[in-house]
Amino acid sequence: MKPAKPLLTVDGMSVRFRMPGGRYVAAVSDVSLTLHPGECLVLVGESGCGKSVLASALLGLLPGNAETAGRALLAGDAPLDLLTASERTLARTVRGRRIGLVPQSPAAHLTPVRTVRSHLRETVRALTGVRGTALDPAVEAAAARAAFPTDHLDRHPHQLSGGLAQRAATALALVGDAPLLLADEPTTGLDRDLVERTADELRRHVDAGHALLMITHDLAAAARIADRVAVMYAGRVVETADAGPFFGTPGPRHPYARRLLDALPERAFTPIPGMPPELGALPEGCAFAPRCDRAEAACTRTVPALSAGVACHHPLEEVQPRAGAA
């Protein structure tokens, strides 16, 4: 029952970094995605595949040597292309207001010398304009929305456990009631109980109508929360699928996605041979071909286009029994 109109439409987006000596590093290549309200899209991939660059591009937080191409349309009362919007527009109307960021390592995201209450007061004042005696109730309501306990509001970040720091950061992201939430590795370094709790809480905000783009290498968290999955490898989206079939049967169709799931300890626990390529020195053709057991001559010549949800010259079509599947 998806609404017809997507909230975020990324269309042919590329990001490359200009390096000394005229070299380029292609961090994101020709990525297209759509995200609807009330939907959670999880972008998975190994570290260094360009996931976080994509998130920075959507927030206009790329460094000065970055060049972008394509479009990233944010729907709403004032539709906007995030890649060409001015810094002034992004700062005044987008960040925190139309896109909320749930950061990686929340404890490092918070200012160490200020309490959680002080963080929330500033954010509530800046984003909602609430002042004076209405401020304290608004701060407590903001904390409650992310299930942050009120009796911990006067603590400093170092006095919080990882889970509470995560909730504090989520509370800050939710203050502006942004329709789109962007979560960049929100579960890194948390233990498994906390990963599940964090995923469930983010899911609650999706069910309340937010659209969530979550970026992670944690496949267990992804399986718990996702409606749809996009797999990224060497800067390209190589597979997009509904979460159910992807994590269950028939499973991923791209050989990389399948090998990635098979590396999980609850499955075959077999690593993918080799390491991901450097983004500054991508091989000709399919970037996964050097590590792929299905690769043929064609794979090393042309980059496969994404069609019917998979970018591969030899995708897995039929259901294959997986060794050690749980």
Partner 1 sequence: MLELRDITAGYEPGRPVLRDVSLTVGDGEAVGLLGPSGCGKSTLARVAALLHRPTAGTVLLDGEPAHGWRHRAPRGQRTAVGVVFQQPRQSADPRLTLHDVIAEPLRATGRRAEAPARVAGLAATTGLTDDLLTRRPHQVSDGQLQRACLARALALRPRLLICDEMTAMLDASTTAALVGVLEAYRAETGAAVLAVSHDPVLLNRWCDRVVRWDDITRGTTASDRPHPL
Applying CB under 8 A, the residues found at the interface with partner 1 are 45-48, 152, 160-164, 167, 188-194, 197, 217, 219, 259-261, 263-266, 269-272, 274-275
Angle formed by the axes of helices 116-128 and 162-174, nearest 10°: 10
Alpha carbon distance 127, 282 (integer Å): 42
Residue 17 Cβ vs partner 1, minimum distance, rounded to whole Å: 15
Closest to partner 1 by CB, 15 vs 164, is 164
Question: Measured from the CB atom, is 3 or 271 closer to partner 1?
Answer: 271
d(CA 87, CA 60): 7
CB of 296 to partner 1, least distance (A): 23
Report the nearest approach of partner 1 to the CB of residue 26 (Å).
Answer: 17
Question: Which residue, 193 or 317, has its beta carbon nearer to partner 1?
Answer: 193
DSSP class of residue 157 equals: G
What is the distance between the alpha carbons of residues 275 and 257, in angstroms, rounded to a whole number?
A: 14
44 and 231 in contact (C-beta within 8 Å)? yes
CA atoms within 13 A on the CB side of 267: 17
Q: In angstroms, what CA-CA distances link 43 with 51, 90, 103, 185?
A: 7, 23, 15, 10
Minimum distance, C-beta of residue 270 to partner 1, in the bound complex (Å):
6
State the nearest-atom distance from the C-beta of 264 to partner 1, in Å. Answer: 5
Dist CA 324 CA 322 (whole Å): 6
Q: Which is nearer to partner 1, 3 or 274 (CB)?
A: 274
Distance of CA 312 to the CA centre of its chain: 23
According to DSSP, the residues that pair with 181 across neighbouring strands are 100, 212
Instruction: Please report how close the Cβ of residue 220 comes to partner 1 at its closest, in angstroms.
Output: 8
Q: CA-to-CA distance for 190 and 314, rounded, in angstroms? A: 37
Closer CB to partner 1, 46 or 122, in the complex = 46
Cβ distance to partner 1 smaller for residue 228 or 258: 258
